Structure 1
Amino acid sequence: MTLPPSALAPISDYFKVLSELSRLQVLCALRSGAKNVTEIMEETGLGQANVSKHLKVLAQAGIVSRMPQGVSVYYAIAEPFIFDLCELVSMRLSVRLEEQSQRLKQFQDLGLSESGKSKATAT
Structure 2
Amino acid sequence: MGRHALLDAVIPLVAERFKALAEPARLQLLRALMQREHTVNELVLSTRLGQANVSKHLQLLHTLGFVRRRKRGLFVHYAIADRQVAKLCALMCARVRAETPRSRNGG
Alignment TM-score, normalising by the size of structure 2: 0.85
Could you say what the CA RMSD is over the residues aligned between the two structures, in angstroms? 1.8
**Deviation above 6 Å: which 4+ runs of structure 1?**
none
Identify the structure with bigger relative contact order (alpha carbons < 8 Å, sequence gap 6+).
2
8 Å CA contact 1:36–1:74 kept in 2: the answer is yes
Residue 42 of structure 1 is matched in structure 2 by 45
Partner of 1:23: 26
The equivalences for 1:99-114 within 5 A come to 102=105
Is the partner of 1:62 in helix, strand or coil? coil
Superposed CA deviations along residues 49-72 of structure 1, whole A, max 9, x for unmatched, are 000000000000111111111111
Which is higher, the Rg of structure 1 or of structure 2? 1
d(CA) in 1 for partners of 2:14, 2:27 = 17
Specify every segment of 5 or more residues in structure 1 that has no aligned partner in the other structure, as ranges: 103-123
User: 2:102 and 2:75 mapped to 1: Cα distance?
Assistant: 48
Stretch of structure 1 that moved more, 20-29 or 4-13: 4-13
Q: Deviations over 1:20-72 (max 9, x none)?
A: 10001011111122111100001000000000000000000111111111111
Counterpart pick for 2:73 among 42, 65, 70: 70
Equivalent residue number for residue 119 of structure 1: none
Percent of matched pairs sharing the same residue: 38
**Secondary structure of 1:31's match?**
helix
Displacement of 1:101? 5.9
TM-score with structure 1 setting the length: 0.74
| Inter-partner Cα distance in structure 2 for 1:100 and 1:39 | 34
Q: Is the Cα contact below 8 Å between 2:38 and 2:78 reproduced in 1?
A: yes
- Residue 83 of structure 1 and its aligned partner are, at CA, apart by 1.9
C-alpha distance in structure 2 between counterparts of 1:32 and 1:91, whole Å? 18
Match of 2:72, as an amino acid? Answer: Q
- 1:5 alignment partner, SS class: coil
Shift of 1:100: 9.0
